Structure formats: structure tokens, C-alpha cells
Amino acid sequence: MINHNLKIYNTLSGKKEKFSPIKKKKVNIFVCGVTVFDFSHIGHARTYIVFDSFVKYLKQVGFSVFYLQNITDLDDKIIARSQEKEVEPKSLATAFTKEYLKDMKVLGVDSVTKYAKATSYIKEIINQIEKLFKKGYAYKLEDGIYYDISKFKNYGKLSGRTILGAEDAVSRIDYSRNKRNRGDFCLWKFRQEETEPSWSSPFGKGRPGWHIEDTAITEKFFGPQYDIHGGGRDLIFPHHEAEISQMEAISGKRPLVRYWMHTGFLTIDGQKMSKSLGNFMTISDFLKRNSRQQLRFLILKNLWHSPFDYSESVMIEVRASLEKIEEFLRKLNDIKTIKSTDKNLKKLFEKSEKDFYRELDDDFNTPRAFAVLFDLIKETNKFIDKDLVSKSQAKEIYNFFEKIDKIFGIIDFKKTKNKKIPVAIKKLIDEREKYRQQQNWLKSDEIRLELEKKGYLVEDTKAGQIVKNI
Ligand SMILES: [Zn+2]
């Protein structure tokens, strides 16, 4: 029995902290979803694979998890793109929601409990804005309802910015010249054109601003406080700062979220991914050349909140590492020895198991956990070469890899079972065995070459021949 003491790096404190959810063994986690106006790229894949894996890990160590994710199915970007393409915003959003969910399925991201589309929670959104009005945080301008950040005492506690510092917001700033503070953000945008999707509200016909959908959705499912909020680093400011300002102002309860987890940036050949640089890589393009397991391993071999750089040469390493695991599992599958396992291997395996979980418990450190696995492989191989591994021990180690892969999804188990060897090949192997026993190396080498030509690799070990289908 392993005792798990979890620690997580929290953006809010800038430190690793002991993880203790509001309700001991139950975790409520919300992760910002995509705005469905285009295909998802491998930067998205990073965030969603990290949280998928993290949630699966939480479940494996005994938590019950409600994983909530929103889908922004209406905003400025969607409207702009739908005008470009001359389609309805709704049909554009529906099409790209489908694409997104398809990508996630292919990637094996299947731990999300509930996907919540923003436009399904308009009632809750209006309700929150009304409360902000009543409490004096919201004000009305010609183009919409705004949030006055100078009214919120704790503004900037997540991003470390001041109200003045809010001026260098780069992403999705809501612009009106008449705002009280430049960092004020829009809660409700009045309808500009007849054709724009809009809803009636006590403040006028319009649609929600971007930040308010998240707090409306999380309050609906989790209430005013919950355990973990995740997303990409780029969302810390102003998006997540705005969420805190909204919900803590409404409820008067602090903090909205106990642990803020932000995934690090992913760059390509040292550069930020962008359409203008031509290095924009969609998930489906990436998967034309690589498997889902390779993408998941590429992402998880980096610490979740560290930046990492993608390049073709990294993929060579990724493939080699995964082949190493698969080859090892094939070897384990092949072990027929009945006699008992060397005591030292037993000890080594027990220690590896503990070390592995200790690394994950410490800030979900997947690269260090993988290092434990590769050490275990290296050391066990030494015992296998000396024929000191019993069938039952081999099975135990194999099962351990099966269990931990429920967290990662990096192993293609189809490749870990040895294929059936045809009768004609078996005959050659048996023939070779005879020559080996007669120490007729010339003949046995001849047959080895013949087998290789037919696609079977022969290795001579103390325990006899090992034949692999290559
Ligand atoms: Zn969000």
C-alpha cells in the first residue's frame, strides 16, 4: 500500500503546495476549453493531454474527480471568422466543436466529465452580471456592460499585476474609449448588428463577454469555490484574473479556486507557433506522421508547467524511447521460466513502484517518473539476460506497466504481444537449435541469416534462442 502525499505547483502562490481538496477525497476541476473557430493545434493538445493524464492519475490514487470544461461557442473570433467564411456563427461553432471532440477522442482524452457550451448558460451569465451590478462592480457604456477593476481590492493577485499594469493586456482586450480603467473588461456586449446572435437581458439585447462564461458555468456545477482551475499559461492574464474578480466579488468568498495550474508554453523550433510564421501545426496534421502514443509521450516527458520546444529531432528520441518500452514488454511476455525470481529483482521492482508514484505525487513530475521506468527496464533486462526472472514476476511487471499506462496512454499494447510464428519458421528455429547443440556455428549462423531475411531476428541467450518478428 502506497501512501500518497500530493504536492502541486500553484500559480497563485508561485510555490509547490500540499494538495488538499475542499472535500477530502473529491476533486472539482475546471479547465478552460477552446474557442471553436478553427482546428485545434498541438499547443491545445499539450494542455488537454496534461490535464487528462493528471485527472486519470488523481483517480488512480483514490480521488473521485469531476472534470468540467467549457466550450466557447460564441465570441468575437467566431463572429469574425463566420463573416469571412459567410456562414452562420452557430454552424461554424458546431462544425469546429465536432472537430475538437474528434481530436480529443483520437488523442485518448476521455476523462472530461462534462463539456459545457457557453451559450447553454446564458441565464446563469445574466444572473451573475445582475449581481455585479447590484454590488457596484459593473457599469454601463454605449457598447456594453463593463467590470470596474478598481473596485476589486484583490485585483492582480494571480498574475501579480496592478490595476495600472492591466494596461499591457495583449489578448482579447475589450476596447471602449470611455472605460473607467483601461483594464476594465466587458461582461455583456450589446448587439451591434441585427444579424448577430443575441439574447434579451435586463441591460439590453446582446451576448456575453468572454470571461463571464467560465464563472457562470463553474458556479452552476461547483458553487462559488472549487479545487483546481487549469489552462494554458497565456490565460493567466487577463482571463483568469477576470474570473477571480467576478466570482469573488459576487460571492464574497475567497478564494474562488484553491489551486491554479497553468501548462507551460510549447514552441516549435524555438519559435512561438503562429499562422504568420507558417509553423502552425494542427493535431490532425501531426497525427498523420505520428501516433497518438507518440504525441502523448512527447508532451508528458516534459514537466507540465515548464516550457518545451518541439522539433523533429525530439520525435526521434520519442520513438526510440517508446520502442524501448515495447521491446521490454515483449521480452516479459516471452518469459517462460517457472523457477523463482531473484530476490534482488523483487526488491528493485518494489522500490521502483514506490519511486514512480513518489515522483508523480511530487507535482505530477512525469519526466522523473519516466526516468524511474527506464531505470527499471535497464535493470530488469540484466536479470532477464541471466534468466533470473520467473514468469509470474514478468507478469507482475507487465501488469504494472498496464496499470500506469491508464494514466499516460503512451504504450501501444498491440506491439507488446509477440506475433504467432508460422510453422515453416518454427521448423527452421528447431533445426537451428539442433545445430547449436552440436556447436555447429557455421550452420546455425546460416539459418540465422535465412530467418533474418524472412523478417525474424534471432538472439542467442543463456535461456536459448529468442525470435522476434521485425
Ligand atoms: Zn476560460
Walk along the chain (470 residues) and give the pLDDT tens digit of each residue.
678 999 999 999 999 999 999 999 999 999 999 999 999 999 999 999 999 999 999 999 999 999 999 999 999 999 999 999 999 999 999 999 999 999 999 999 999 999 999 999 999 999 999 999 999 999 999 999 999 999 999 999 999 887 766 665 545 566 688 999 988 999 999 998 888 899 999 999 999 999 999 999 999 999 999 999 999 999 999 999 999 999 999 999 999 999 999 999 999 999 988 877 888 899 999 999 999 999 999 999 999 999 999 999 999 999 999 999 999 999 999 888 777 778 999 999 999 999 999 999 999 999 999 999 999 999 999 999 988 899 999 999 999 999 999 999 999 998 888 767 788 888 999 899 899 889 899 999 899 889 888 888 888 877 677 777 76
**pLDDT value at position 252?**
97
Distance 171 CA to ligand 1 centre (A): 13
Distance 114 CA to ligand 1 centre (A): 15
**pLDDT value at position 158?**
94
Q: Whole-angstrom Cα distance, residue 165 to residue 188? A: 23
Q: Whole-angstrom Cα distance, residue 304 to residue 47? A: 8
Distance 69 CA to ligand 1 centre (A): 9
Distance 260 CA to ligand 1 centre (A): 12
Q: What angle do CA 74, 75, 77 make, to 5 degrees?
A: 115
Q: Are strands 308-310 and 271-272 parallel, antiparallel or unpaired?
A: unpaired
Distance 271 CA to ligand 1 centre (A): 25
Nearest to 97 by CA among 71, 67, 70: 71
pTM, 2 dp: 0.89
**pLDDT value at position 165?**
67
Distance 394 CA to ligand 1 centre (A): 46
Using CA atoms, how far residue 90 sits from 78, 95, 189, in Å, is: 9, 9, 17
Distance 235 CA to ligand 1 centre (A): 7
Distance 32 CA to ligand 1 centre (A): 4
Distance 214 CA to ligand 1 centre (A): 6
**pLDDT value at position 163?**
74
Distance 211 CA to ligand 1 centre (A): 6
**pLDDT value at position 274?**
80
Distance 245 CA to ligand 1 centre (A): 14
Distance 319 CA to ligand 1 centre (A): 34
**pLDDT value at position 459?**
81
Evaluate whether 137 touches 155 at the Cβ level (below 8 Å): no
Distance 223 CA to ligand 1 centre (A): 17
Distance 133 CA to ligand 1 centre (A): 22
Query: What is the distance, to the nearest Å, from the Cα of residue 280 to the centroid of all Cα atoms in its chain?
Result: 19
Evaluate whether 54 touches 253 at the Cβ level (below 8 Å): no
Helix H or strand E encompassing 288: helix 283-289
**pLDDT value at position 278?**
81
**pLDDT value at position 173?**
61
Distance 88 CA to ligand 1 centre (A): 23
Nearby residues of 151 by Cβ (< 8 Å), 6 or more positions away = 136, 137, 249
Distance 71 CA to ligand 1 centre (A): 9
Distance 276 CA to ligand 1 centre (A): 25
Distance 374 CA to ligand 1 centre (A): 37
- Is 43 strand, coil or helix? helix
Distance 300 CA to ligand 1 centre (A): 23
Distance 239 CA to ligand 1 centre (A): 7
Distance 340 CA to ligand 1 centre (A): 55
